Amino acid sequence: MTKTIRTAYEEISNFIHYLKVMQYDFEVRTTTNSTIIKFQDIYSSKKMIFNSGGYMSHKEMRLQREIKKEVEENTKGQIIKYNGQKIAYNQFSDTIEYMIETTGEYIKLENIYEMDITKAYYKIALNLGYISQAFYDKCLNLPKDIRLRLIGSIATKKVIEIYKKGEQVSIKVVQNERLRQIWFHICYEVGKIMSECSESIHDYFVFYWVDGIYFQKRVGMNIESDPSRQIIQNIFENNNLEFTITKLDYITLQNYDTYINLECYKDKQKKSNFSVPKTKVRKYYYNNKELVI
């Protein structure tokens, strides 16, 4: 019997504690988004699926198996051209870097535009030959959260714990190193393109975050003829990437000593916010949610 439950990590922990107390033999398989617990009581064998990373349908689980099979079949015999190079997930202008040393400082930047790569990870995976056009088209209309979770599942790492009579007897980590290398290659290529954009527009660059870049339009020019927009567009198009462009009201930056809070406003409402950490901090936040990178 299989039962799927949408729950929080605390409830998973409580259920595992119950199995330990009852001295069951059981197995726990944990990934970023789900925990599967297999156990047998006096009646029958059971499997509990806890969706701790948000609801995951059976269709999505099937798609995760499909994308891994797709990538493996498309890369048979290929050498993956990624050797552990640093991935540039984000970059900030000197203005933001300067604020690291100026606690309490507040800056408001106007005349800001945002350019985002459309479905960046999927398009890069397609361009690199990791997925087919048919699979790319199949994923186009998936909700964004499912789409991102699906492409990221290429690098899924699974922790397997075995318990006998409530006591843990073994634990191992299972991961496909080749698939993880492919995933990081996709991320690296996105970062490389964004870094090229930031370096090419010089003083008008504000920051980029994953697949979206923010810049100031030159005073007196319309956005169509603005050099920064044209440079970024050329780089995107040369890499066979589509994009969207959005005019923001302004960006605010406030130094709170331990981090810099960066907020983007559009139509007089906060569109998004980023917490920019200080040196040596390894956690990044987007809209108050930790971004795993």
The total of other beta-carbon atoms located within 10 Å of residue 6's CB is: 13
Q: What confidence score (pLDDT) does residue 135 get?
A: 96
Residues 6+ apart with CB under 8 A from 221: 227
Q: What confidence score (pLDDT) does residue 286 get?
A: 39
- Residues (pLDDT < 50) of the chain are 4-5, 280-293
The dihedral formed by the CA atoms of 155, 78, 197 and 152, expressed in degrees to the nearest 10: -10
Scan for tokens 């029958």, then name that residue. 44
Q: What confidence score (pLDDT) does residue 102 get?
A: 65
- SS3 of the chain: helix, strand, coil, percent, to 5: 35, 35, 30
d(CA 239, CA 120): 11
Residues 6+ apart with CB under 8 A from 199: 205
Helices and strands of the chain, counted as H and E runs: 8, 17
Scan for tokens 């988004």, then name that residue. 33
Check the CA dihedral 186-190-193-196 and report its sign.
negative
Q: What confidence score (pLDDT) does residue 134 get?
A: 96
Question: Would you say how long the chain is, in residues?
Answer: 293
Domains of the chain, CATH where assigned: 90-122+181-291 (3.30.70)
Residues 6+ apart with CB under 8 A from 70: 130, 131, 132, 135
